[in-house]
Amino acid sequence: MEIYNNIRLSKEDSEHLYIQLYKSIKELILGGKLMEGDRLPPVRKMAKMMEVNNVTIVKAYEILEKEALVYKRIGSGTYIAHQIKGDDPEGIEEETHQAINKHRLLDQGQIKIEENTINFASATPSAELFPVDDFKQVLNDVLDRDKGNAFGYQEGQGYYPLREILGSYVKEYGINVDAENIQVISGAQQGIDLVSKALLNYGDYVIIEGPSYTGAIAAFQSRGARIIDIPLEYDGLNLEILEKKIQSNRPKLLYIMPNFQNPTGVSYTREKKEKLLEICKNYGVYIMEDDYLSELNYYHDDTSTLKSIDKENIVIYVKSFSKIFMPGLRLGFLVIPNNLHGRLLMAKHTTDISTSGLLQRALELYLKKGIWQQHLRYMEGKYKERFEKMISCIEAYMPSEVEYILPRGGVNFWFKLPSNCSSQQLYELAVNENIVFAPGNLFHLNNFHDEYFRLSIAAVSPPEIEVGMRQLCKIMEEYINKYKSSVVRASTIKPIL
């Protein structure tokens, strides 16, 4: 029992006692001080040792069990489980690690592909679309102008002139904020992570769309949040289910992408946006709005952001430039309600102190010189060409058994195979023919949605779309036909829901 003598639980600490205990025991396990098969002290004994009540111990053991660090033997006690070895400093199990990597790799265009692979998996633009020469020029201008200052630490909230110009940028989209409400971030993924860090405690509920962006799911999971997904309909979240879930679980946060959602391409109607704001206002739930590409609005629909109609200041707006500019710059920004400023700034500081000064200054100059508008028009034109090619290919080649709703903007298309089919099996067949896409289970909390898949047009040229879609749809047709004749075998492996 000596091993537990060094554990110090403090009631003064802002962290719950059971979390402190869970973390201390986890450290002992991952540090090799508690070994596979060792028994944890019985609840009452541990409670006495730690001078806390039994419930604290039960809760700590429960989290350890959820993370498969320990297991229970009925009537015998709680034992340390077998640990998967690996040089993982965070102690994240290798399997989880691989799963997260798999998700993020696919979603951010970092999938390993051969030179001649047709890549419908990546929702990130390919390098030939990047404005390299223009950006080189602004980098040189910044260095000539600011010299060494460009390499100093920046204000944690972001380089002031950049925040000012970002304020003007969002005003064009109806968001009325000034520099004080803007937090510069190193990419939207960091923004999602910072909001999670600032807002969520272990065990808090977060509501997401089902399906949703994998990077956000991973960020919420990393905070120990409990995630609930609400079905996404053709015009946005099912608000009835949303309200019920809010009433029963009292979530801290709702995370959504109201325009051209990833992965489905769904956009919310104005009516749904307004109702959603009303519901969240009534129950005191913050909304994190991830605006990753509302600019790619090819038919000039109403793509108002939630933030632009948020009168109560409950929306945390996250803006990424990755899909319309260059993802490797790692630049984005948040528009945050006043009362969250301090917490977000603190989270930013403990994460990376500040975003690269050189790149912030270069982006500011790029925006100021007006090159940005030119580039945006260029990207819109390129994407629209791909988008329309994709639509004509879907109409010409997609097997009739496959269901879909065509989006009106963005880069993602979402499909549903007949219910006995598996998009992962289809993926294996397509990879053999040098075509990749994103199987739908990547975007869901559980593995029960294997019949969906996402095709993106961000990294494929119109001729590649033509060739790839013709080929992929042929593979799909053969696959579906094969499945039609083996329904019995397939249906036995479906989960009962």
Ligand X SMILES: Cc1ncc(COP(=O)(O)O)c(C=O)c1O
Interface with ligand X (CB under 6 A), residue from 69, 123, 363, 457: 123
Stretch touching ligand X by CB under 6 A, among 182-190, 271-279, 383-391, 464-472: 182-190
Can you tell me the distance from the alpha carbon of 193 to that of 353, in angstroms, rounded to the nearest whole number?
A: 14
Closest CB to ligand X: residue number: 187
**Any contact of residue 262 with ligand X (CB under 6 A)?**
yes
Q: Does 108 bind ligand X (CB under 6 A)?
A: yes
**One residue of 156, 158, 236, 327 binding ligand X per CB under 6 A:** 327
CA neighbor of 407 nearest in space, from 253, 272, 294: 294
Q: Is there a contact between 325 and 292 (Cβ–Cβ < 8 Å)?
A: no
How many Cα atoms sit within 13 Å of 442 on the Cβ side? 29
Q: How far is the CB of 236 from ligand X (least distance, A)?
A: 15
Minimum separation from the CB atom of position 321 to ligand X (A): 6
Tell the smallest beta-carbon distance from residue 252 to ligand X (Å).
Answer: 19
32 Rama sector, left if φ>0, alpha if ψ -120 to 50, beta otherwise: left
Which residue type, as a one-letter code, is found at position 313? N
The footprint of ligand X on residues 435-494 (CB under 6 A) is none
Only one of the segments 65-73, 139-147, 181-189, 335-343 lies at the binding site for ligand X (rule: CB under 6 A); that segment is 181-189
8 A C-beta contact, residue 322 and residue 292: yes
Tokens 């065509």 found at: 406
d(CA 341, CA 148): 29
Task: Tell the smallest beta-carbon distance from residue 380 to ligand X (Å).
Answer: 18
Q: Is 189 in the site for ligand X (CB under 6 A)?
A: yes
- Site membership for ligand X, residue 47 (CB under 6 A): no
Q: Please identify, using beta-carbon distances, which residue of 189 and 264 lies nearer to ligand X.
A: 189
Residue 292 or 453 with smaller CB distance to ligand X: 292
Ramachandran quadrant class, 232 (left: phi over 0; alpha: psi -120 to 50; beta: rest)? beta
The answer to whether the CB of 302 falls within 8 A of the CB of 173 is no
Cβ neighbours for 391, distance < 8 A, ≥ 6 positions apart: 406
Q: Which residue pairs from 91-99 have beta carbons closer than 8 angstroms and sit at least 24 positions apart in sequence?
A: 91/26, 91/29, 91/30, 93/68
CA-angle at 400, arms to 397 and 402, nearest 5° = 95
- What is the nearest approach in angstroms of ligand X to the Cβ of residue 422? 24
Quote the distance between the C-alpha of residue 170 and its chain's center.
Answer: 22
119 binds ligand X (CB under 6 A): no
Residue in 106, 206, 207, 257 binding ligand X, rule: CB under 6 A: 257
Specify the residue, 79 or 130, whose C-beta has the smaller distance to ligand X: 130
Q: Which of 125, 156, 210, 215 binds ligand X (CB under 6 A)?
A: 215
Sign, Cα dihedral of 96, 102, 107, 110: positive
With CB under 6 A as the contact rule, the residue among 60, 188, 198, 476 that binds ligand X is 188
Q: How far is the CB of 293 from ligand X (least distance, A)?
A: 8
CB of 327 to ligand X, least distance (A): 5
* Residue 107 or 451 with smaller CB distance to ligand X: 107
Percentages of the chain per state (helix, strand, coil), in multiples of 5:
50, 15, 40
Residue type for 314, please?
A: I
Q: How far is the CB of 123 from ligand X (least distance, A)?
A: 6
Site for ligand X (CB under 6 A): which residue of 119, 322, 360, 423? 322
CB closer to ligand X out of 19 and 335: 335
Cβ of residue 292: shortest distance to ligand X, in angstroms?
4
Identified binder of ligand X from the candidate list 156, 158, 187, 440, rule CB under 6 A: 187
Nearest to 225 by CA among 277, 288, 305: 288
- Of the candidates 63, 320, 89, 292, the one whose C-alpha atom is nearest the C-alpha of residue 188 is 320
Residue 96, both tokens? 């989880």
Scanning 176-184, 187-195, 231-239, 442-450 for contacts with ligand X by CB under 6 A, the matching segment is 187-195
Q: What is the C-alpha separation between 473 and 490, in angstroms, rounded?
A: 21
**Judged by CB, which is closer to ligand X: 40, or 188?**
188
**C-beta closer to ligand X: residue 50 or 364:** 364
The enclosing H or E element of 73 equals: strand 70-73
Q: At its nearest, how many Å lie between ligand X and the CB of residue 323?
A: 7
Q: Give the interface segment with ligand X, choosing from 125-133, 186-194, 398-406, 442-450 (CB under 6 A).
A: 186-194
Site string for ligand X, 269-298 (x = CB under 6 A): ---------------------x-x------
Binding site for ligand X (CB under 6 A): 107-108, 123, 187-189, 213, 215, 257, 262, 290, 292, 320, 322, 327, 332
